Copies of this chain bind each other. A is one copy, B any other.
């Protein structure tokens, strides 16, 4: 490298100073440092990576780059990476197993040192297969091998908490706007809803369950569907906050007051849920913490350390969209 020439030393010496690999005499060090500053030189990370076999890059697979759900987790990842020298390349799988696998192959070709997979539709086995090439930490899966780790939230329990809260407030006709029926989290949340009802001796009415797709529009549609079929209910549990927002709008359009006429509970506790009108009662997912902990764990695996790290549990956040039934 030309810093070496500029400073009148060999490339190795420069390298040694840059990496602190060995002792170097003070005068040469000064000269090199000066040359570096003057040329504002920074080592070519691609060359470094090629040589050392580590790119100092980790890959993140999200499903939707502009969903507050993933973005809050990404914030945790970003903070977790701070000061580690690692950078991240973020790709999106768009909730498509095929695309996820593609993206992971892309990351692998780029020699990322590890991968964080946020949710997704890929089978656990596929994840395990990829994990032979690079360590993978994933959310929404219960994995635990030498090079693959999963963090799974107790969705069933979370949903139970939500519905139980409603029941305690005296509600007995509780509608449920579910997630996509092929989504594992959605299935588990439905199970929690069912259990809470059963436990309270409330018969499950299939008419009160409408399938959504986790987006606002589907929450709105689901709500309208409930009205169109003349269902009677005093509360609604939406499988995620986004669909709760949509349901809220449908209610507003009908002139139905929340929580006075109907109570509403969401799931996720997105940042925006503290500022809806009224603020949304919901089940809090520790999204930021998940991102941080996943990152930390991945770094541990990469550096051959132990993988500890527990994620905080789901938690009911009572705000202002629920009230005792009159």
Q: Assuming A66-B71, A66-B271, is B44 touching A249 (CB within 8 A)?
A: no
Q: Give Cα A75 to B66, complex, Å.
A: 6
* Chain B residues within an 8 Å CB radius of A248: 275, 277
Q: Is A74 in contact with B78, judged by CB distance below 8 angstroms?
A: no
* Chain B residues within an 8 Å CB radius of A88: 89-90
Q: Give Cα A108 to B90, complex, Å.
A: 18
* Chain B residues within an 8 Å CB radius of A263: none
Q: Give Cα A109 to B278, complex, Å.
A: 48
Is the C-beta of A1 less than 8 angstroms from some C-beta in chain B?
A: no
* Chain B residues within an 8 Å CB radius of A279: 249
Q: At the interface with chain B, which of A47-55, A151-159, A180-188?
A: A47-55
Is the C-beta of A292 less than 8 angstroms from some C-beta in chain B?
A: no
Is the C-beta of A111 less than 8 angstroms from some C-beta in chain B?
A: yes
* Chain B residues within an 8 Å CB radius of A72: 66
Bitwise interface map of A from 16 to 29 toward B, beta carbon under 8 Å scored 1, else 0: 00000000000000
Q: Is B87 in contact with A87, judged by CB distance below 8 angstroms?
A: no
* Chain B residues within an 8 Å CB radius of A67: 71
* Chain B residues within an 8 Å CB radius of A220: 275
Name the residue on B nearest A50 (C-beta).
Answer: B46
* Chain B residues within an 8 Å CB radius of A43: 109
**Smallest distance from the beta carbon of A31 to chain B beta carbons, Å?**
22
Name the residue on B nearest A85 (C-beta).
Answer: B106
Q: Give Cα A89 to B275, complex, Å.
A: 31
Sample of 8 further A-B pairs with CB below 8 A, known A44-B109, A88-B89, A245-B275: A45-B110, A65-B75, A66-B74, A87-B91, A88-B90, A245-B272, A248-B277, A272-B272
- Name the 9 nearest CB pairs between A and B, nearest first: A66-B75, A66-B71, A42-B109, A277-B277, A245-B275, A45-B110, A46-B50, A46-B49, A89-B89
Query: Which positions in A face B, CB cutoff 8 Å?
Result: 42-47, 49-50, 55, 57, 65-68, 71-72, 74-75, 78, 87-92, 105-106, 108-111, 216, 220, 245-246, 248-249, 252, 271-272, 274-279
Cβ contacts A to B, 15 pairs, < 8 Å: A42-B108, A42-B109, A44-B50, A46-B46, A46-B49, A46-B111, A57-B110, A66-B72, A66-B74, A66-B271, A68-B68, A87-B89, A216-B275, A248-B275, A272-B272
